C-alpha cells in the first residue's frame, strides 16, 4: 500500500511541477514551428467565429453566463501521439476542444459538489489546492496525502453513499460517450485512466509544490497515458470564486473556458492543448478531472463502494 501510495503522490506532484518545465524540453525547431502554426490557426479559428474577448484580451470560448448545447473548436493535432503506441479508432486523428452545458445537469453537478464537499471535509491541503481521488483513495491532508479508504475505513460510509458512486460512474459513462461522439471514435475503445480526481482550489498561498496548480502544462507530456482530458465544473466562475479560469495557451492569443456548474469541457491531451488554470483570487473552485486513454494497459476501474 505504501509503495502504491507514494507512486501516486509522485504522479500528482509531477502533474503540478512538471508543468513548468515540460515546454523547455521541446526545443527543436520543428516543435517551435508546430507551436507557431497551432497558435496562429487557433487564433484564426477563434477570430473567425467572432468570439467575444474579455478585457484582458483573452478570447472567451464559453462564458459563465452562456448555456451551450455543444461547441467545438478544431485545432491541428500535435505529434505527441506518435511518441506512444497508436490505437486505431481511438488515438486522435482530429484534435480540438469542446464545451457543453447539455451533458450534465446542474442538479447532477450539485450532487457531485456535495460529494466533493463531504469528501474534502475529512482533509484538505494547507495550501490552496486539494485533491480527492475516489479511485486510489488519495486525499490531500495538510502538506501530504492520505489514503482515505485506509485512514477512515468504515467511517467513510457515513460520508459517501453507494448512490454517490453510482452517479459518479453514470456521469463518467456519459462523458465518455460524448467524447467518442465528438471525436468520431468508438466509446468502448476508450478507457478511464489515472489520475481522475476531484479538485478544490482557493486563494490560500501554496505550501508545497502539490499546491501549485497554475503552471502551464500538456497532459500527454505530464501523464503519458492521457489521450482525452475532460473537466466537469461544479461551481461558477465570478459567483462562487474569482480568478480560476481555465486557459488554453496559444501563441497569438489565449482563450478561456469559464467554469460553470454542470459545464463539461474536454479536449485532446497533446501539446495542441497546452493549458493552465489561473490562480484563484477569492472563493472556492470545485471541479472533477476525468481522464481517458486509448491504451487498455493504462485503464483503471471505476471506484466501488466498499
Ligand X SMILES: *[C@@H]1O[C@H](CO)[C@@H](O)[C@H](O)[C@H]1NC(C)=O
**Residues annotated as part of the active site:** 285
Is 249 a residue that touches ligand X (CB under 6 A)? yes
Is 91 a residue that touches ligand X (CB under 6 A)? no
- Whole-number minimum distance, CB 160 to ligand X, in Å? 19
Q: How far apart are CA 176 and CA 121, in angstroms?
A: 29
Is 242 a residue that touches ligand X (CB under 6 A)? no
- Pick from 161, 208, 216, 302 the residue near ligand X by CB under 6 A: 216
Q: What are 252's three cell numbers?
A: 497569438
- Whole-number minimum distance, CB 286 to ligand X, in Å? 12
Q: What are 251's three cell numbers?
A: 501563441
Based on CB atoms, which residue is closest to ligand X, 125 or 196?
125
Could you tell me how many residues of this chain bind ligand X (CB under 6 A)? 15
The contact pattern for ligand X, residues 93-132, with x = CB under 6 A and - = no contact, is -------------------------------xx--x-x--
| Ordered DSSP codes for 26-49 | --SHHHHHHHHHHHHHHHHHHHHT
Is 199 a residue that touches ligand X (CB under 6 A)? no
Is 253 a residue that touches ligand X (CB under 6 A)? yes
Q: What are 285's three cell numbers?
A: 473552485
Which of 266, 230, 254 shows the shortest CA–CA distance to 97? 266
Based on CB atoms, which residue is closest to ligand X, 87 or 149?
87
Is 208 a residue that touches ligand X (CB under 6 A)? no
Which range binds ligand X by CB under 6 A, 26-34, 157-165, 201-209, 292-300?
A: 201-209
- Whole-number minimum distance, CB 107 to ligand X, in Å? 26
Is 11 a residue that touches ligand X (CB under 6 A)? no
Q: How far apart are CA 86 and CA 264, in angstroms?
A: 26
Q: How far apart are CA 139 and CA 130, in angstroms?
A: 7
Q: Is residue 115 within 8 Å of 137, Cβ to Cβ? A: no
Which range binds ligand X by CB under 6 A, 2-10, 14-22, 111-119, 248-256?
A: 248-256
Which of 200, 198, 225, 217 shows the shortest CA–CA distance to 280? 200
Is 204 a residue that touches ligand X (CB under 6 A)? yes
| Strand ranges in the chain using DSSP code E only, listed in sequence order | 59-62, 71-75, 95-100, 124-125, 129-132, 138-142, 144-147, 191-201, 228-233, 241-243, 246-248, 255-257, 264-268, 275-277, 280-283, 285-293
The residues binding ligand X (CB under 6 A) are 57, 124-125, 128, 130, 186, 188-189, 202-204, 216, 249, 253-254
Amino acid at each position: 500500500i505504501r509503495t502504491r501510495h507514494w507512486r501516486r503522490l509522485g504522479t500528482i506532484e509531477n502533474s503540478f511541477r512538471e508543468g513548468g518545465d515540460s515546454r523547455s524540453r521541446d526545443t527543436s525547431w520543428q516543435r517551435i514551428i508546430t507551436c507557431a502554426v497551432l497558435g496562429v490557426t487557433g487564433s484564426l479559428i477563434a477570430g473567425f467565429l467572432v468570439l467575444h474577448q474579455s478585457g484582458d484580451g483573452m478570447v472567451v470560448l464559453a462564458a459563465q453566463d452562456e448555456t451551450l448545447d455543444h461547441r467545438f473548436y478544431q485545432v491541428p493535432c500535435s505529434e505527441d501521439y506518435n511518441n506512444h503506441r497508436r490505437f486505431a479508432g481511438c488515438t486522435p486523428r482530429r484534435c480540438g476542444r469542446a464545451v457543453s452545458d447539455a451533458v450534465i445537469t446542474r442538479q447532477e453537478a450539485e450532487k457531485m459538489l456535495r460529494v466533493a464537499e463531504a469528501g474534502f471535509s475529512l482533509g484538505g491541503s494547507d495550501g490552496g489546492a486539494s485533491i480527492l481521488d475516489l479511485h486510489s483513495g488519495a486525499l490531500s491532508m495538510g502538506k501530504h496525502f492520505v489514503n482515505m479508504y485506509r485512514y477512515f475505513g468504515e467511517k467513510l460510509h457515513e460520508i459517501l453513499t453507494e448512490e454517490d458512486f453510482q452517479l459518479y460512474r453514470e456521469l463518467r459513462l456519459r462523458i465518455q460517450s460524448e467524447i467518442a461522439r465528438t471525436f468520431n471514435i468508438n466509446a468502448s475503445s476508450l478507457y478511464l485512466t489515472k489520475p481522475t480526481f476531484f479538485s478544490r482550489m482557493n486563494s490560500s498561498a501554496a505550501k508545497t509544490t502539490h499546491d501549485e496548480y497554475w503552471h502551464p502544462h500538456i497532459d500527454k507530456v505530464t501523464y503519458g497515458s492521457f489521450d482525452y482530458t475532460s473537466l466537469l465544473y461544479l461551481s461558477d466562475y465570478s459567483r462562487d470564486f474569482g480568478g480560476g479560469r481555465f486557459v488554453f495557451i496559444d501563441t497569438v492569443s489565449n482563450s478561456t473556458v469559464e467554469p460553470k456548474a454542470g459545464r463539461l469541457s474536454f479536449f485532446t491531451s497533446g501539446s495542441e492543448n497546452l493549458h493552465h488554470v489561473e490562480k484563484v483570487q477569492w472563493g472556492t473552485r470545485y471541479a472533477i478531472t476525468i481522464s481517458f486513454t486509448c491504451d487498455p494497459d493504462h485503464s483503471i476501474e471505476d471506484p466501488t463502494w466498499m
